[in-house]
Amino acid sequence: MDAATTISPAVLILLGPPGAGKGTQARMLEEKFGLVQLSTGDLLRDAVAAGTDAGNAAKAVMEAGDLVSDGIVIAILRDRMAEPDCAKGVILDGFPRTTVQAEALDGLLASSDQKINAAISLEVEDAEMVTRISGRYTCAGCGEGYHDTYKQPVEDGKCDKCGHTEFKRRADDNAETVASRLTAYHAQTAPLIDYYQAQGVLKGIDAMGQIDDIARDLHGIVGEVMD
């Protein structure tokens, strides 16, 4: 490679409904490739806490009970991506959510000669996702995770890890709520799938298998686009 050639930081987008494993896979990508996961919620909280111009603007909007505008989110994202730890690239989780946001993101990246390297869709089966999420529960003592179908305590009613006998479920981990969230996700994300497919950067991953198998496929895609 020519000494004068510079490589722009990679920009990856992870698409997938709640429970598809985006967080788990993003952490594994961070470790393997030196990327930084950026989620909209964390970005907003950090910018507000840091008192940046964009963070102060977001704080004023949120305190008024309004939704933070795309322009403010883009400004916060621009500031964060300029930090030294993002030099190798970032994984965007939760943004963009609409084609308007996707177009704004393209504009931001173009201003620094960057682009979307890949928009990776973690593809799941809705019926299986309802079973996967609605069956989750945790030990009330240590937080160890269990599942009605896939992982029950060895001794019925007793946590394998700490021996506690009380368990709890998240209020929104029920079949109706999960199905509703999946419907909303598909309605919101379908235009993004088309948008990134038209750009030639959309990649699909079967996310119904084992975590390590999904990671292997995902790492193969990321390795290719980062070369």
Task: List C-alpha distances in Å: 173 to 134, 160, 181, 208.
Answer: 5, 22, 11, 19
Separation of alpha carbons 124 and 122, rounded Å: 7
Q: Which is it for strands 118-123 and 10-15: parallel, antiparallel or unpaired?
A: parallel
Alpha helices in 4-67, H assignment, sequence order = 22-33, 40-50, 53-63
Task: List C-alpha distances in Å: 106 to 27, 60, 114, 153, 195.
Answer: 24, 26, 9, 48, 11
Active site members: 22, 97, 136, 170, 181
Determine the distance from the C-alpha atom of residue 226 to the mean position of all C-alpha atoms in its chain, rounded to a whole number: 19
